[in-house]
Structures are given as structure tokens and as C-alpha cells.
């Protein structure tokens, strides 16, 4: 068994709507895999199938070597699930809640140690779950998914609703899980989160995987064109730019700046530099930008939605 999750030709329809229309996925052991996609793209349906909570119409699915549609108690011992927000048992303290779930597993992790791992100290452990802050509740969710010491963890939007500081903390915590050798299947709407945490990314839209790769290469991001932005001093027209740079100029003026679309930013910058030097002028507000993961993601999903977008590469 060389992969933690393998999916081939997965399909699932609800009435007329084909929510998942032929999905293929591979997630290796010990990998953090980010599954991205707009709401309604088939993300939740796919995860529910992988978690053993949803039926399918077609396709091969293996999670830890088992078809989750026939999830056994044995299999559940090895899989942890962090669902989208759930408030937990309100009338129990955090520690009691953990003890309740610990008792359902054969070889649970120690309660205090697990709470420690997600950053809930003794003070928080004594609180009623109903009185926790949003961030603390989310930590409890993660702790509950970890209590059975799973090999594979599903994390559905783990940091939605967090403030930036809490999100950084959560990333540190999830990084800690990677160090424990856990395989993590993550969904998120925050591209920075995927970029920080994920070894690999897949983007789903309209029930199909539209691209997959590492955060650096997805959507040909590594070879995608960069943007060179700058302003010219008053009295100098953009028409005076050298011919080959003029060819790269975009019609838009973001923030009043000239935008060049460059596949070879270093060479183009050099050309711009010698031209400006030759003219004895200085360009202002100079910036070179590579497409962010968010840019790539938005382009991919927009293309999938059939929206006309300009080719970037």
C-alpha cells in the first residue's frame, strides 16, 4: 500500500446535478494535501465519500487501503475527522469531552498531551465547551480528531473565522502534525494557508479536478509570466518605450502604473533599465510581481466556470 488515498473515476450525482463528475486523486503517506475549490464545486461531496459518510455512483476509492463505503470500526480507529464547525457537547468541560471520545478508541493518545499539542492548556481544559471562544473550539475539534491517534486526518476548513494571529498559531500546530508523520487532507478557502502547509494541491471545479501540483507549480505558476509595474516621469509618454517592451504592455493601468507582462522579467527589466538610463530618466514605483497562488487559483476556477480570461502564460 503506497498511497494513503487513491481515487479513480469518482462520480456522484444528486438528482440531475452531477456533483462529482470523474475525480482522480492520489495522496501519499505523510503528505499534507490541500483540496481547493469554490463552494458547490464538489469538495464536500468528495470529502464525505472519503470519510465514509457518502455513497457514490461510480469509481474506485481506497483510503488507507479500505473502501470507505465499507468503513469498519478498525478503519475508524485510524482516521481522524475535523468537521466544519461543530460546537461539541455543551454541558461537558473540554477535558470531559476529550475523555468521552478517548474512551471510544482502542489506543487513544493521552488527553492532556493532546490538548497541549493543539495549544489548549489546563485552564482551557477545565472550561465548559459551550463557553470557548471560536479559536479554542476549533482547537478542541482538532484535538478530538487526534485523540484516537489517527494516521490520516481530514481537516475541513480548519481556520475559517480565525483572526490572523490565531491562524498563524493554527498553522504552527498543523506543522506539528506533519512532524508526527500524519497524512493530512485539508480543505481551505485561504490560499496562503494552502501555500504554507501543503505539499501538494488539487483544485476542483464543476465536479472535476482542473489542476494539481505543488504550491509552486500548480497552474504553471513556476513558468507563468511576471508583471513589471512602474510609472514614467511627467512629459515622457509610454509610446517612447522600446518596441519589444511596448509589445508586452497591457492596456490596463493598475493604480495608474504601466504594466508589462513578462515571461523573462530579468531580461526585460534590463532593457527597461538601459532605456531609462539612456534617456536620463528614472522610473517610479517599480515593482516585479509573480502571480500568487490566489491569482492562479482564481484564473483556474474562472476558466473552469467558462469565464473568458486572458492567457497569462
Partner 1 sequence: MDLVLHVTRFQLRAFLRNRRARMFTMVIPLILLALLAGVFDGGETTVNGVKVDYRQFFVPSVVVFSLTLTTLAMLVATVVNQRELGILKRRRATPMPAWALIAGQSLTVVLMAIGTVALLLIVGAIAFGVRIPAAGWPTMILGVLGGAFAFCGLGYALSTFADSADSAQPMIQLITFPLFFISGIWIPISELPKALEVIAKIFPVEHVADLVHRAYVGAVPTGPVLLDFAILLAWAALGAVVASQRFVWMPPRRG
Q: Which CB sits closer to partner 1, 131 or 309? A: 131
Q: Work out how close the CB of 65 gets to partner 1 at its nearest, in angstroms, rounded to a whole number.
A: 17
Phi then psi for residue 139, to 5 deg, are -65, -40
Q: Work out how close the CB of 125 gets to partner 1 at its nearest, in angstroms, rounded to a whole number.
A: 15
Q: Work out how close the CB of 73 gets to partner 1 at its nearest, in angstroms, rounded to a whole number.
A: 4
* Residues constituting the chain: 313
Four-point Cα dihedral 141, 55, 78, 178, nearest 10: -60
Coil/strand/helix, residue 311:
coil
Q: Which CB sits closer to partner 1, 47 or 232? A: 47
Q: Which CB sits closer to partner 1, 44 or 262? A: 44
Q: Which CB sits closer to partner 1, 101 or 162? A: 101
Q: How far is the CA of 202 from the CAs of 34, 64, 236, 304, in angstroms?
A: 6, 19, 46, 14
Q: Which residues bind partner 1 (CB under 8 A)?
A: 39, 48, 51, 53, 73-74, 76-77, 79-81, 83-92, 96, 99-101, 103-106, 144, 148
d(Cα 200, Cα 189) in Å, to the nearest integer?
15
Q: What is the DSSP pairing of strand 183-187 with strand 32-36?
A: parallel
Q: How far is the CA of 23 from the CAs of 9, 183, 212, in angstroms?
A: 5, 20, 12
Q: Which CB sits closer to partner 1, 55 or 306? A: 55
Q: Which CB sits closer to partner 1, 132 or 269? A: 132
Q: Work out how close the CB of 39 gets to partner 1 at its nearest, in angstroms, rounded to a whole number.
A: 7
Q: Work out how close the CB of 261 gets to partner 1 at its nearest, in angstroms, rounded to a whole number.
A: 37
Q: Which residues contact 275 (CB under 8 A, 6 or more apart)?
A: 241, 242, 245
- DSSP H or E segment with residue 173: helix 164-179
Q: Which CB sits closer to partner 1, 51 or 227? A: 51
- Region of 99 please: left (phi>0), alpha (psi -120 to 50) or beta: alpha
- DSSP H or E segment with residue 270: helix 265-279
| C-alpha closest to that of 118 among 88, 91, 138, 97 | 138
Q: Work out how close the CB of 279 gets to partner 1 at its nearest, in angstroms, rounded to a whole number.
A: 57
d(Cα 282, Cα 286) in Å, to the nearest integer?
10
Give yes or no for a contact between 155 and 184, defined as CB atoms under 8 angstroms apart: yes
Q: Work out how close the CB of 215 gets to partner 1 at its nearest, in angstroms, rounded to a whole number.
A: 28
Give yes or no for a contact between 33 and 27, defined as CB atoms under 8 angstroms apart: yes
Q: Work out how close the CB of 276 gets to partner 1 at its nearest, in angstroms, rounded to a whole number.
A: 53
Q: Which CB sits closer to partner 1, 79 or 269? A: 79
Amino acid at each position: 500500500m503506497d498511497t494513503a488515498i487513491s481515487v479513480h473515476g469518482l462520480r456522484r450525482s444528486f438528482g440531475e446535478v452531477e456533483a462529482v463528475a470523474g475525480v482522480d486523486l492520489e495522496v501519499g503517506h505523510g503528505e499534507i494535501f490541500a483540496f481547493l475549490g469554490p463552494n458547490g464545486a464538489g469538495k464536500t461531496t468528495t470529502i464525505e465519500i472519503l470519510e465514509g459518510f457518502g455513497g457514490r455512483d461510480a469509481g474506485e476509492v481506497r483510503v488507507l487501503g479500505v473502501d470507505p463505503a465499507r468503513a469498519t470500526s478498525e478503519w475508524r480507529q485510524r482516521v481522524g475527522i475535523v468537521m466544519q464547525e461543530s460546537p461539541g457537547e455543551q454541558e461537558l468541560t473540554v477535558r470531559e469531552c476529550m475523555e468521552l471520545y478517548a474512551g471510544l478508541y482502542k489506543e487513544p493518545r493521552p488527553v492532556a498531551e493532546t490538548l497541549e499539542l493543539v495549544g489548549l492548556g489546563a485552564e482551557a481544559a477545565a472550561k465548559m465547551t459551550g463557553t470557548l471562544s471560536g479559536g479554542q473550539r476549533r482547537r478542541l475539534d482538532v484535538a478530538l480528531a487526534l485523540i484516537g491517534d489517527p494516521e490520516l486526518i481530514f481537516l475541513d476548513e480548519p481556520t475559517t473565522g480565525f483572526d490572523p494571529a490565531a491562524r498563524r498559531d493554527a498553522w504552527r500546530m498543523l506543522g506539528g502534525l506533519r512532524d508526527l508523520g500524519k497524512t493530512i487532507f485539508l480543505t481551505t478557502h485561504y490560499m496562503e494557508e494552502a501555500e504554507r502547509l501543503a505539499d501538494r494541491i488539487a483544485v476542483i471545479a464543476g465536479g472535476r479536478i482542473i489542476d494539481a501540483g505543488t504550491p509552486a507549480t500548480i497552474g504553471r505558476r513556476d513558468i507563468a509570466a511576471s508583471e513589471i509595474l512602474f510609472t514614467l516621469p511627467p512629459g515622457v509618454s509610454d509610446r517612447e518605450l522600446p518596441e519589444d517592451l511596448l509589445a508586452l504592455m497591457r492596456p490596463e493601468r493598475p493604480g495608474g502604473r504601466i504594466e508589462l507582462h513578462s515571461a523573462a522579467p530579468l531580461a526585460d527589466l534590463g532593457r527597461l533599465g538601459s532605456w531609462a538610463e539612456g534617456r536620463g530618466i528614472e522610473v517610479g514605483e517599480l515593482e516585479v510581481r509573480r502571480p500568487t497562488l490566489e491569482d492562479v487559483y482564481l484564473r483556474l476556477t474562472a476558466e473552469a466556470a467558462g469565464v473568458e480570461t486572458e492567457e497569462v502564460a
